[in-house]
Amino acid sequence: MAEPETGDGAGPKRRRSDDVRLLRRYWPFVSPDRGWLALGLLSVPVMSLGGLAQPYLIKEAIDGPIAAELRGAAYSGPWTIGTLALVFLLAVMAEYGFRGLQLYALQHAGYASLTRLRRAVFTHVLSQGGKFFDQRATGTLLSRTTNDVEALGEVLTFGIIGILGDIIDILAIFGAMVALDVRLTGMSLVVTPIIVLVVNYFRRQLRKHSTEIRRSMGEASGAFQEALAGAKVVQLHGRRDTTVQEYKALNYRYFAAYKASNWYDASLYAVMDGVASLSIALVIWYGGGAALQGAVSVGLLVAFIQYIQRVFVPIRELSGKVATIERALAALERIFGLLDVDERLPQGNHAPGKVAGRIEFDGVQFSYDGKTPILRDVRLEVAPGKMLALVGPTGSGKTTLARLLTRQYAAADGAVRLDGTPVEMWQVGTLRRAIGVVQQDVVLFSGTLFDNVDLGRGLDRATIETALRDACLGDVLDRLGGLDAQLGEGGGGLSAGERQLLSIARVLAANPAVVVLDEATASIDTLTEQKVQAAIERVLAGRTALVVAHRLSTVRRADQIAVLRQGEVVECGDHQALVDRGGLYAELVAAGERQGAIA
């Protein structure tokens, strides 16, 4: 089933013109190493000549010195046995020496191109907007940059130029056979229709199963990644057996497709070996009779048998390379299907040196799926240095407003402005440096404490250490042994509150003009909240703040509170004014006052 809308590539029905188009698109990734490709290509004729000479030299030895010796006659020809043996050795060395050179050159070019393609896919994926990731499983994207890209390595290493070499070998061998004897050549070509039919049939079957291999591998990789990410949930809820069975079913789909592909691949080799034997039998039957009548020399017959054995090697390899290329083209189609999906949000070139921090939401409307409205005509304004708190029931659009400000998504209508300039006119890098985000779900990476605060921004160590201590993480810094302490995957060794504080330290270190707090105290205990609140006080000082909050303690100090319900702003004012009004905010405060929350 085709899945172009998600960038997973087209289905199995691919035209030959599409294959050429795919290879043309692949060329820019290969072209920087075209010198290595040229070296591999130039090795082909030398290899071919070395292989072509060997049966001919054997013929000359049999029909010349050996025949003369058997007859007891003196041999007066140009080739002695010693000379023929030496030339034969040189031909063998030329064939296999240049074959090794070709293999090295093609592998160098092939794997260098994979590096460029993998980097292009990775860069492309990371530059996409939020909608792109909403529609795609992480494991599927991972499969594109690993399994599918790796499948392309064989295209250059054993594929296209290898096929060209095989074709040159086939044509050269048949040319030599025609030059030696047209009748024996014609007899060996009797099996040609069988070869054409067999190769064409197996090529179509391998194409179909190669596409299914790539698709099933992507689905299995996606399921595996999700199971690992949610391993604790799977175990705690007793879903291990069900998850294993689901993965087993996906794995068997991959296994079944690969088994079918291997069956056709192996069968193709077996059939081609059988056809080669049939061709040799025909030549022996016809040529043997002619040799007995003296019309054909024994040396010529032996050379023809060797040429037939040699010609079926590239024919068999050619058919095998067809399978390799079919798998690679199926992978390439899916990779370019992903690269063709461009859901990056457009950006401008506005990059001011100083940001005041004025935020405006002017008639903003938004929907994640294009159907169900999440925000309806939202109009809010935050003056520089002031704090706006967003409250309301779950699903009312609070976090969505923050995402529109940071340009993870684009508003369907209306305008989101920072310092009077619509966010789509800002350079994305400048915009996100101007806005620091403290999220509820903190993502930490494997690496040092320094790396997890710096995030590649090139900050100095003193700034990072000051940010950590200002974020109330001085005790953690001392406990772990300094900035170079290694953190495990996901921040292993840190509590939920400490991870939250580290997220605040990231913002403090970057010193942005605007801060977005996305439910930063929603899932921590009261004792830890005191530390977080102290850190928040520091991060809010002198900055414009947009706060998505559940805790009453966070909301009380806001200069302005906007109450959202079903995507609309239904109330707006400070804490006391909204409580006195007795509306939705007052209800939320009354319901959550006992536990320090308002929703």
Pairwise CA distance, residues 205 & 68, whole Å: 53
Token pair for 123: 């860069």
> Residue 486 in 3-state DSSP?
strand
pTM over 0.75? The answer is no
Domains of the chain: 4-340 (1.20.1560.10), 384-399+429-595 (3.40.50.300)
In sequence order, what are the beta bridge partners of 544? 514
State residue 2's pLDDT score: 36
In sequence order, what are the beta bridge partners of 17? none
Per residue of the chain (599 residues), give pLDDT as tens.
333 344 444 444 556 567 778 888 888 988 898 898 888 888 888 888 998 888 888 888 888 888 777 777 777 777 788 888 999 999 999 989 998 898 888 888 888 888 899 899 988 888 888 888 877 777 678 777 777 787 776 665 666 677 777 888 888 888 888 888 888 888 877 887 887 787 778 777 777 787 788 778 777 877 887 787 777 777 776 778 888 888 888 888 888 888 888 888 778 778 877 888 888 888 888 777 776 666 677 888 888 888 888 887 777 777 667 667 777 787 888 888 888 888 888 888 999 989 999 999 999 999 988 788 899 999 999 999 999 999 988 888 888 999 999 998 889 899 999 999 999 999 988 998 999 988 777 888 888 889 989 988 889 999 999 999 988 888 888 888 889 888 876 666 788 788 888 888 999 999 999 999 886 555 555 566 677 778 888 888 889 999 987 667 678 888 999 999 999 999 999 988 998 898 888 888 887 665 555 65
State residue 357's pLDDT score: 92
How many C-beta neighbours within 10 Å does residue 127 have?
A: 13
Mind giving me the DSSP string for 376-426? EEEEEEE-TT-EEEEE-STTSSHHHHHHHHTTSS--SEEEEEETTEEGGGB
**Is residue 102 within 8 Å of 165, Cβ to Cβ?**
yes
**CA distances for 469 relative to 92, 260, 276, 505, angstroms:** 72, 61, 78, 8
Give CB contacts under 8 A, 24+ apart, made by 38-43. Answer: 39/101, 39/102, 39/105, 40/101, 40/102, 40/105, 40/106, 40/109, 40/161, 41/161, 41/164, 43/98, 43/99, 43/101, 43/102, 43/105
State residue 20's pLDDT score: 79
**CA distances for 382 relative to 397, 409, 418, 519, angstroms:** 17, 20, 10, 18
Helix axes 34-61, 81-126, angle to 10 degrees: 160
State residue 588's pLDDT score: 83
**Is residue 165 within 8 Å of 49, Cβ to Cβ?**
no
Task: Name the helix (H) or strand (E) containing 560.
Answer: strand 560-565
**CA distances for 451 relative to 456, 476, 491, angstroms:** 7, 15, 12
Residues 6+ apart with CB under 8 A from 49: 91, 94, 172
State residue 5's pLDDT score: 40
State residue 3's pLDDT score: 39
Q: Can you state the percent helix, strand and coil of the chain, rounding each to 5?
A: 65, 10, 25
Amino acid identity, residue 365?
Q
